[in-house]
Amino acid sequence: MNPQRIWLTGASSGIGLALARELANAGHQLALTARRREPLDELAAEFPGQIEVLTADMTEQAEVIAVAEAMQDKWGALDLAILNAGTCEYVDVSSFDSALFARVMAANVQGTVHCIEAALPLLRKGEKPRLVGVGSSVTFCPLPRAEAYGASKAAIRYLFQSLELDLAQWDIGVSLVSPGFVETPLTAQNDFPMPMQVSSEKAARKIVKGIARGQREIRFPGIFIGFLRLLGSLPNSLRFALTKGMARTDSEGRD
């Protein structure tokens, strides 16, 4: 990619931080947003003149609007927006908690929508603009305990695939990232096996390459994604029979 004006959210750790470093090394101008400022300042010090640090909570519309106003003042336009910020919480059905769903939906869906609202006017003035959202491979096949996270990422999938149709009139490209398990501080908290897990750095390289190619969907790792898609395409009764053993029993949840 030629040097671009890029807004990246969720940039303080994991995939976001690896993406920020990858893009900075490639010579792009970056506006990095996250709630925590310290990691962003440290990266900005490594790339003087390339990085604007704009902290915000994506679930707060006013804070996101303030970020957009800062980018408008700095650049006047955006060429690329990568909306990576999000969270994950797993459901324990023995103590089903609607507040958990509210938190996950607020961060993953409403936070993304706030960012889209802020980014679109700037992207319309950009050079070969593209909007990128980070979904998940969990949308290919229902999995136990992923009710909240999976539902939020399914919403992201539908949102971005619909947006691609409406944004074509302004020549704004749309990409959806659907990763498998990636080594991040968030996945480090998981208490279950994560097959074919990739590093944040490898994930960032895959994403940057996919964006440069203009891919509608950027999926990795290939074998894991293919397996999930195959499972998800099976008749419901067969899929259920093959995946129900992954669910925890009530006694396992208490342990």
Query: DSSP class of residue 136?
Result: -
- How far is Cα 235 from Cα 185, in angstroms, rounded to an integer? 35
- Positive/negative CA dihedral, 228, 230, 234, 239: negative
Q: CATH code at 69?
A: 3.40.50.720
Q: CB–CB of 207/19 below 8 Å?
A: yes
Residues of the chain with pLDDT under 70: 1, 250-255
The residue range of the domain holding 216 is 5-254
Q: Which two tokens stand for residue 203?
A: 């994930």
Instruction: List, by residue number, the catalytic residues.
Output: 149
Question: What pLDDT is attached to residue 255?
Answer: 45
Residue 248's pLDDT is what? 72
Q: How far is Cα 76 from Cα 64, in angstroms, rounded to an integer?
A: 16
DSSP 67-127: HHHHHHHHTS--SEEEE---------GGG--HHHHHHHHIIIIIHHHHHHHHHHHHHTTSS
Contact between 78 and 5 under an 8 Å Cβ cutoff? The reply is: yes
pLDDT tens by residue, 144-168: 999 999 999 999 999 999 999 999 9
Alpha carbons 6 and 174: distance in angstroms, whole number: 14
The domain total for the chain is 1
d(CA 131, CA 55): 20
57-107 pLDDT per residue, tens: 999 999 999 999 999 999 999 999 999 999 999 999 999 999 999 999 999
Angle, vertex CA 60, rays to CA 41 and CA 3, nearest 5: 45
Query: What is the three-class DSSP state of 174?
Result: strand
State which H helix or E strand residue 67 sits in: helix 61-74
**Contacts with 60 (C-beta within 8 Å, 6 or more apart), sequence order:** 114
Query: What is the model's pLDDT at position 251?
Result: 53
Q: Give CA separation, 3 vs 6, 20, 30, 80, 90, in Å.
A: 9, 14, 10, 11, 39
Residue 64 pLDDT: 98
User: Are 216 and 255 spatial neighbours (Cβ–Cβ below 8 Å)?
Assistant: no
The answer to whether the beta carbons of residues 4 and 28 sit under 8 Å apart is yes
Q: How far apart are CA 22 and CA 199, in angstroms?
A: 13
Amino acid 252: pLDDT: 57
